[in-house]
Amino acid sequence: MKQETNKYQFAQLEIYKESLELAHLKRKTKIFMSLVFILAGIVLYFLLQISASNDTVISIMTMFLVLLAINVAFYSYDDDLYNNLKIAMYISTLGVYVIAVSLILQFQSPSIFTSLFLAYAITSIFQEYKTMILSNFALFISGILLVLRFPEIFQIVGTNESQTFFILVFLIIFVLLLTLSSYILIKRKTFFYNQLADIKESEVRNMELLLEIENIKTNSHLDVKEYYETLNKFSVELSKKIGIENVFQRKIELLKDLKNKKIDDILLKYTEYNIDEINEIKYMELEVRKKMIMIGIKASKSHGIEVSRKEIFSESQFKSFKHFGDAHYVKIISFVVFYTLLKLDKPYLPALEEERVKDILLNSEYFYRIDREIIDVYLENNMVFDTIVKDHMKGGR
């Protein structure tokens, strides 16, 4: 058996991780637009209070409106929404700093310099590596250019000494601290996404393993043709029962053809569906994706199980033999018990020879469920393991 060493063996896990990020990115985009709208209202209020010229008010408000319009446009375009929102995020980061610098140039007052930090606070909502680098770089460059261009607005009253050097040092330290804190937050968020995807991968692996064991134990495979025929009969009876046209029949035919026909032929035969709809239906295909089978397995194993909110991400939900909080000796004991069970004759599984055990642990799904250090110890001493088990059980069978 060929061992897969990819980060995620199952391609759909990357899609799952992206869907998690997309859900949060959509929420963050809404929060960002709300904050920009509130900031625009506050800026407009102060502009009217100081009786700013109409040209000033119109130009600054136009920048706010353009920034909001860009976000709304990218958010509304459903095709490849994930990448669209990413692009909107980068444009928004630069746009907020452009507005902040414009306000500073317009009023040239030390108090308005805080608009740069407001811009940083708003863009930090995204919590994304590239956005963090872009935001920190924009803050640093904007701060330096403004300090060098307008040193007089930072001059302490009552002295002619320039404070430029001290302000630049403070700015450098401040940006470095912001970068460090943002990096830690983003690292935690990334770990959270990876952990969720890892849990999903464990779930998929376990179900794949159950299906493989079922095939070995029963020496039978799912009759896909019969399944689709039964499904079609069910859809006919269901449509009659609820009094509607059988809208399932074409989709069932499409599912059957997906295995044998190329995508171009599928598009020609099923003109009522576009490529995106066909790709969605692909996930329902039994032999390749096995999604419906896995949903059935998950539903059958999840019945009656209650998990409280605080336990959702506890280590008890992670892979067996690889709990993060377990001491090394606990992992060793767990492995030894498992190894011994493989060596014993059981009604459902005869004792396995050493080479077979070694092959299973190295090349099957169990490779991903046991701590790598424990696997290495076994591989280096597997003959010793085998000898101890044989000596201990000699005459006891």
Does any domain span residue 51? yes
Residues 88, 75 contacting (CB under 8 angstroms): yes
Outline where the chain has alpha helix (H). 12-49, 54-76, 81-107, 115-123, 129-149, 164-218, 224-242, 249-258, 263-269, 275-282, 291-302, 328-343, 354-363, 372-393
The long-range contacts involving 78-82, CB below 8 angstroms and separated by at least 24 positions, are: 81/22, 81/26, 82/18, 82/21, 82/22, 82/25
Summary mean pLDDT of the chain: 76
**How many Cβ atoms are within 10 Å of 329's Cβ, its own excluded?**
8
Residues 110, 154 contacting (CB under 8 angstroms): yes
Q: Is the same domain home to 26 and 171?
A: yes
Query: pLDDT tens digit string along 282-295?
Result: 777 766 666 666 76
Q: Is the same domain home to 68 and 181?
A: yes
Structural domains counted in the chain: 3
Does any domain span residue 5? no
Does any domain span residue 212? no
Residue ranges making up the domain that contains 376: 315-393
* Locus of tokens 């599912």: 255
Query: Which candidate, 5, 103, 102, 33, places its Cα nearest to that of 362?
Result: 5
Domain boundary among 270, 302, 334: 302
**How many Cβ atoms are within 10 Å of 261's Cβ, its own excluded?**
15
Does any domain span residue 62? yes
What 3-state DSSP class applies to 134? Answer: helix
Q: Hey, what are 218's tokens?
A: 């029963």
Query: pLDDT tens digit string along 300-337?
Result: 665 555 545 444 444 444 455 666 566 777 777 777 77
Query: Which candidate, 178, 151, 149, places its Cα nearest to that of 166?
Result: 151
Q: Is the same domain home to 264 and 353?
A: no
Q: Is the same domain home to 138 and 184?
A: yes
Domain boundary among 144, 162, 197: 197
Predicted local confidence at residue 4, as pLDDT = 39
Q: Is the same domain home to 292 and 327?
A: no
Q: Is the same domain home to 250 and 164?
A: no
pLDDT-derived band at 66, boundaries 50, 70, 90 = very high
**How many Cβ atoms are within 10 Å of 125's Cβ, its own excluded?**
16
Query: pLDDT tens digit string along 83-140?
Result: 888 888 899 988 898 888 888 888 777 677 778 888 888 888 887 888 888 888 888 8
The region of weakest confidence among 146-155, 169-178, 265-274 is 146-155
* C-alpha to C-alpha distance for 392 and 384, rounded to whole angstroms: 12
Q: Is the same domain home to 154 and 281?
A: no
Q: Is the same domain home to 131 and 60?
A: yes
* C-alpha to C-alpha distance for 385 and 394, rounded to whole angstroms: 14
Query: pLDDT tens digit string along 229-285?
Result: 887 888 888 888 888 888 778 888 887 787 778 888 888 888 888 887 787 777 777
Does any domain span residue 370? yes
State residue 44 phi and psi, 5-degree precision.
-60, -40
* C-alpha to C-alpha distance for 147 and 47, rounded to whole angstroms: 24
Q: Is the same domain home to 283 and 322?
A: no
State residue 125 phi and psi, 5-degree precision.
-60, -35
Q: Hey, what are 131's tokens?
A: 């956005």
Q: Percent of the chain at pLDDT above 70?
A: 76
* Locus of tokens 């009217």: 48
Does any domain span residue 210? no
Q: Is the same domain home to 42 and 137?
A: yes
Q: Is the same domain home to 245 and 381?
A: no
Does any domain span residue 143? yes
Q: Is the same domain home to 36 and 92?
A: yes
- Amino acid symbol at 364: S
Domain boundary among 302, 328, 357: 302
**How many Cβ atoms are within 10 Å of 281's Cβ, its own excluded?**
17
Does any domain span residue 204? no
159 has a pLDDT exceeding 50:
yes
